[in-house]
Structure 1
Amino acid sequence: MDGKNKEALKEIERLTAKADEVQENILKEILTQNSATEYLIKYMKGSKNMLEFKQSVPVITYKAIRPYIQRIANGEDSSLITSHPITEMIRSSGTSEGKPKFLPSIEEDLDRNMFFISLITPIMNQYVPGVDEGKHMYFFFVNKEISAPCGLPVRTASSRLLQSKHFKRQARDPSNDNNTSPYQAILCSDISQSLYCQILAGLIHRHQVQRLGAAFASILLQVISVLERNWVRFCNDIRTGQLDLMITDLECRSCMSTLLSSPDPCFANEIENICSRASWKGILCQLWPRAKFIETVITGSMAQYIPALEFYSDEKLPLVSNVYASSECFLGVNLKPLCDPSDVAYTLLPNMGYFEFIPLGEDGTMLMNVGEEDDVPNDKLVDLVQVRLGCYYELVVTTFAGLYRYRVGDVLQVIGFHNRAPQFRYICRRNVILSLDTEKTNEEDLQKSINVAKKLLEPYNVLLVDYTSYADASTMPGHYVLYWEILFHGSSKADDQLANIAALDEKMLQECCIAVEEELDFKYRICRTHNKSVGPLEIRVVEPGTFEELMDFFIDQGASINQYKTPRCIKPEGALKLLNSHVKASFFSPRDPKAATPTIVDSTNVYNVIM
């Protein structure tokens, strides 16, 4: 390991060993710099005292800070919320709540984020020596830039990084030619053309690629889907040495012409022989035989895609989930990247922002007792080093850019410590729920239920590719609807897939319905069996490619492909209409779920933990 990597690891040790001291200094620095802002003066009257901050500044959601952000977007000064000039607005994906948020960003944020990213390779090098050698086939994308009324650029967090001077300098450095994707292809705002060129570049470098990756697991499955539909075109490009005419972007054509410098029919035949096989099980290892691991987020809602990635890699490539980040703030790193996906834990780096936590109980049963817009008493939050092993928390951040005691919406569980810094398991986004009556189903509970149900598909060689849900209140009583896209092993042809859907075993899918219901909590089952206020759960099987179209829908609405996560609860009417237009079969629970026995909870304890 070289000196640069050793220094990075030493810095992680220093930061985590003095996590309490680092956090205290971060908050002092934020208050010193921003005490004269309109927002903090409102609550602290110019004070820079940390105790005053914790007693006086409220815990907020985006709704509370949005008016200040809107004023800045309309041309007022950044000093409303921060002493630093706001250089741009960061747009969140918007897939969790149906619409994006716009968050302030300052130049110093970029430096912090680049420091954060610089730690990833040194961590990986401890487990996979030479990880920074060879080629990295990592898929990057940028969105079309828009501007706020005042002229500030509005970008996604990933687009900001990719368009920054740091990334440009690295991308244009001949000694840093590790990524397979040409920089011009990455910057192409036409996602379909960018993706085509990046896949083609990855195929051209297939014998040099040592790591595969994308921001989220869902993106990699999108890559496989595009490859599956277009491999004949890719082979033809390589065979003739000419880029397909469907690529019209001049920058893309220019950079790809360098890679396609001459016809190579033998190389094209290699790829054709692999892609024309009846089954694509293990296709990633066959196309990129030197790859050592897959690098992507596989926690939270992304855990759904683990079986698909294991299928396409034949379980030979470790799935590595390196980082935990949000549009608000870069947060934590995985110090044991080769761990089992179910054991992924992120160590929050205490220099990235000031972190506090809303307690949610020791077993997660308190999860739904604090609503997204409920007031949270200031004195009930705990600091980073005060969290307790095994307990659940909602993350709250304070940043230099003007977010103060801001509820990110992520639910985390403490599963260990590295020095003094806690290590968290990501559980879910707390604002993704289904509810028709008194029951409330969060993302984690829905995921667990579907994990049980999808095991019933395995004997039939059927894989659940993706899913989402909807609380349909148009029926009497209302009922939960699950949209499932499924894949039949052994066939990659769309016509065969549709034929198999038409011949689905009705009993099998009905059993999947009841399996989901019997894994949901007792409140749901009470509503189903006793109150009859919720009707039988329904699974609607959609045709292949539907969730790809759903992603396109959200991207057209302004979401970033880098940040896109399939929403586990559908809200926009247009997205729901799209899903319903692709339904090929529908199945309902054949009976009520087994009766539920409620857990008795001491209301005093609930009050003490939450209030």
Structure 2
Amino acid sequence: MRRTLKRKVPSSDSMDGKKLEYKGEEALNEIERLTEKADEVQKSILTEILTRNCETEYLFKYMEGSKNILEFKRNVPVITYKGIRPYIQRIVNGEDSSIITGHPITEMLSSSGTSAGEPKLMPSIAEDLDRRTFLYNLIMPIMNRYVPGLDEGKAMYLYFIKAEMSTPCGLPARAVLTSYYKSKHFKCRAKDPFNDYTSPDQAILCKDSSQSMYCQMLAGLIHRHQVLRLGAVFASAFLRAITFLERNWVRLCNDIRTGQLDPMITDLECLSCMSTLLSSPNPCLANEIEDICSRVPWKGILCQLWPRAKYIEAVVTGSMAQYIPALEYYSDAKLPLVSPMYASSECFFGVNLKPLCDPSDAAFTLMPNMGYFEFIPLGENGTMLMNVGEEDEVPNDKLVDLVQVRLGCYYELVVTTFAGLYRYRIGDVLQVSGFHNRAPQFRFICRRNVLLSIDNDKTNEEDLHKSITVAKKLLEPYSALLVEYTSYADASTMPGHYVLYWEIQFHGSSKADHLANIALDDKVLQECCIAVEEELDYIYRRCRTFDKSIGPLEIRVVELGTFEELMDLFINQGASINQYKTPRCIKSIAALELLNSHVKASFFSPRDPKWGI
């Protein structure tokens, strides 16, 4: 029997009647209130979700209309996307959203598709935008505690949208950040000094990423002496902007010098907004920028171009940690790297209450009003990770609540939302690093489904990153920087082996010199291979050395710019430039073909790694 639910229409300026925008001390007080009563807030959130959604087809199947929390924990299964996908597909094809939620689904949010191999569609209701806005509004009050005076200048934040699609039933399907930037919450954000961006909204909302990048970078250069904050959503997007500037600074300077926008900009909205910024020629400013950009190498270029900048805001945790050395190089290690929040397409989770900490120590306090959070225990050292596979059934009584997690232990995050996800496994592995009042603080460790495996070995993202971090130090004496990497488990030969694709840049060298240097240093790259293997876990080293079930690790050095082409490939396939993360384990045949077409040199481990415990 089809169940028809009475729909509650959310307020346009509140989160279920609760205030969205908190400023200054008021925001900090709200954080204290929520975290001091984290357990009470969590129970209230789950009760509210069950009250609204208990008559949905999905929940009724397990709870028969009950709103009891104990019955929810006893009867509703823990699922992955595979468990909710049939319901989402039915809604996409035109069935009523009441099969999973008591609110009308307003859009489907598409994941980047680069972590798990394919994009997922996540249901979203109008109120979700309120929740995201609430979390965004906490960031600047937190930052202002540590970096005063941020209201006395501008922020050069490089944000981008992705062209959206439409589902068969007419619902928009788009990236979560595209949804936010196109919403009234972003467009009509409070007009206070903390929201003074160099990028015009029209440039951010331009669907052509090249034109958007050009206009945003031009605006940032025009306002270079007013910029106090630099950033993008992910570190990879910010570094892509630096590469773009390297290629286009001459044209950008010409625009500033002449007061005329480059002919490549054809988007009408961009033309309109940029004509205001380029109202008259400014040869003095153009000369300043030209003098800085013409210097080689570009070490410290960010501080030279934006001398008042106080920090770089971008996600540099998890797989983004790979970009920390590059960001430190371009800032001459003078600008703190700030990861302000933890969020995903499924749900926004929490904020970093100590934003100026070392990136390796970044921890996120989960705000208990954002959704209902549960956790799959993975042990004190993550050893249980091996025993809980991505699609394995997880017993209902195994999960623990937000306030029940233990310091130092590892967990997989499970979320229940108002929009129709129930006990949904996010796939993120977290470690409890501390508590703020009663709310735990988590370090992001890895995505559990990003692995390399040939035999009994299972190398996750964190282990791969740690091993490469050690190995790449061998490049430093040669003024070389590992700027990007990915991996692939090659089972086409017997035995199979790990393949790493490395893009290496030599500071102060031309592209031609780059290839020559690689040819001269074969032994160094071979030592990098064995250094990676020496840092991988006992099971891998045993399979390599004793069982001989895994062959020598291989590093394939690719041309400069290869990973930009890889990013373009995924963006052309539907990924968002904001959400794009270089996949640390390649599964796409097209991506492998692209990488292999740009390989210029290949190196193997010269010996077996040591395998003793």
Amino acid across the alignment from 1:28: T
Amino acid across the alignment from 2:66: S
Q: Distance in 1 between matches of 2:42 and 2:448?
A: 25
2:150 is matched with 131
* Residue from 445, 452, 470 that aligns with 1:452: 470
2:374–2:415: 8 Å Cα contact kept in structure 1? yes
Amino acid across the alignment from 1:26: I
What is the CA deviation profile of residues 568-608 of structure 1, one whole-angstrom value per residue up to 9, with x for unaligned ones?
A: 000110011111111111110000111233xxxxxxxxxxx
1:508 equivalent in alignment to 2:500: no
1:525 is matched with 541
Q: Distance in 1 between matches of 2:524 and 2:193?
A: 56
Q: Distance in 1 between matches of 2:168 and 2:587?
A: 28
1:119 equivalent in alignment to 2:135: no
* Residue from 309, 314, 317 that aligns with 2:327: 309
1:495 is matched with 512
Distance 1:177 1:518, change over 3 A: closer
Q: Distance in 2 between matches of 1:361 and 1:485?
A: 35
2:495 is matched with 477
1:510–1:589: 8 Å Cα contact kept in structure 2? yes
Amino acid across the alignment from 2:219: A
2:166 is matched with 147
RMSD after superposition: 1.3
Q: Distance in 1 between matches of 2:436 and 2:326?
A: 32
2:76 is matched with 57
1:345 is matched with 363
Aligned-pair CA distance for 1:399 = 0.1
Aligned residue for 1:335, secondary structure, equals: coil
| Residues 19-418 of structure 1 mapped to structure 2, 5 A cutoff | 19-170=38-189, 178-418=196-436
Amino acid across the alignment from 1:161: Y
1:607 is matched with none
1:323–1:333: 8 Å Cα contact kept in structure 2? yes
Amino acid across the alignment from 1:22: V
What is the CA deviation profile of residues 62-112 of structure 1, one whole-angstrom value per residue up to 9, with x for unaligned ones?
A: 001000000000110011000000000000000012210000000000111
Answer with 581-590 or 391-400: which moved more: 581-590
2:350–2:366: 8 Å Cα contact kept in structure 1? yes
Aligned residue for 1:132, secondary structure, equals: helix
2:352–2:364: 8 Å Cα contact kept in structure 1? yes
1:567 is matched with 583
1:6 is matched with 25
Aligned-pair CA distance for 1:3 = 8.7
Amino acid across the alignment from 1:380: K
1:605 is matched with none
What is the CA deviation profile of residues 176-212 of structure 1, one whole-angstrom value per residue up to 9, with x for unaligned ones?
A: 8610011111111111111111111101110000000
* Residue from 557, 577, 587 that aligns with 2:573: 557
2:159–2:578: 8 Å Cα contact kept in structure 1? yes
Q: Distance in 2 between matches of 1:240 and 1:577?
A: 44
Aligned-pair CA distance for 1:496 = 3.5
What is the CA deviation profile of residues 275-310 of structure 1, one whole-angstrom value per residue up to 9, with x for unaligned ones?
A: 111110000000000000001111100111001000
Aligned-pair CA distance for 1:371 = 0.5
1:480–1:537: 8 Å Cα contact kept in structure 2? yes
Q: Distance in 1 between matches of 2:75 and 2:500?
A: 44
Distance 1:250 1:500, change over 3 A: farther
Amino acid across the alignment from 2:127: E
1:546 is matched with 562
Aligned residue for 2:264, secondary structure, equals: coil
Aligned-pair CA distance for 1:144 = 0.5
Ranges in structure 2 where 5+ consecutive residues have no aligned partner: 1-20
Aligned-pair CA distance for 1:497 = 2.9
Aligned-pair CA distance for 1:263 = 1.5
Q: Distance in 2 between matches of 1:207 and 1:500?
A: 39
Aligned residue for 2:499, secondary structure, equals: strand
Q: Distance in 2 between matches of 1:15 and 1:592?
A: 53
Amino acid across the alignment from 1:500: N
Aligned-pair CA distance for 1:367 = 1.7
2:35 is matched with 16
1:581 is matched with 597
Q: Percent identity of the aligned residues?
A: 78
2:150–2:194: 8 Å Cα contact kept in structure 1? no
What is the CA deviation profile of residues 468-527 of structure 1, one whole-angstrom value per residue up to 9, with x for unaligned ones?
A: 000011122111000001111223x433334433x3401100000000001111111111
Moved over 2 A (4+): 173-177, 493-501
What is the CA deviation profile of residues 544-573 of structure 1, one whole-angstrom value per residue up to 9, with x for unaligned ones?
A: 111111111110010001111100000110
2:78–2:396: 8 Å Cα contact kept in structure 1? yes
Ranges in structure 1 where 5+ consecutive residues have no aligned partner: 598-611
2:550 is matched with 534
2:318–2:446: 8 Å Cα contact kept in structure 1? yes
Aligned-pair CA distance for 1:247 = 1.6
Amino acid across the alignment from 2:39: D
1:498–1:544: 8 Å Cα contact kept in structure 2? no
Distance 1:504 1:133, change over 3 A: farther
Amino acid across the alignment from 1:354: Y
Amino acid across the alignment from 2:487: S
Distance 1:494 1:233, change over 3 A: farther
Aligned-pair CA distance for 1:175 = 7.4
Answer with 363-372 or 120-129: which moved more: 363-372
Q: Distance in 2 between matches of 1:433 and 1:36?
A: 39
Q: Distance in 1 between matches of 2:593 and 2:335?
A: 37
* Residue from 407, 413, 420 that aligns with 2:438: 420
**What TM-score do you get using the length of structure 1 for normalisation?**
0.96
1:467 is matched with 485
Amino acid across the alignment from 2:590: G
Aligned residue for 1:366, secondary structure, equals: helix
Aligned residue for 1:580, secondary structure, equals: helix
Amino acid across the alignment from 2:517: N
Q: Distance in 2 between matches of 1:574 and 1:71?
A: 30
Q: Distance in 2 between matches of 1:94 and 1:39?
A: 26
Aligned residue for 2:214, secondary structure, equals: helix
Distance 1:497 1:232, change over 3 A: farther
Answer with 519-528 or 20-29: which moved more: 519-528
Aligned-pair CA distance for 1:530 = 1.3
2:153–2:193: 8 Å Cα contact kept in structure 1? no
Amino acid across the alignment from 1:462: A
Aligned-pair CA distance for 1:174 = 9.2
Amino acid across the alignment from 1:580: N
Q: Distance in 2 between matches of 1:39 and 1:162?
A: 31
Aligned-pair CA distance for 1:377 = 0.1
Q: Distance in 2 between matches of 1:420 and 1:468?
A: 38
Aligned-pair CA distance for 1:240 = 1.3
Amino acid across the alignment from 2:151: D
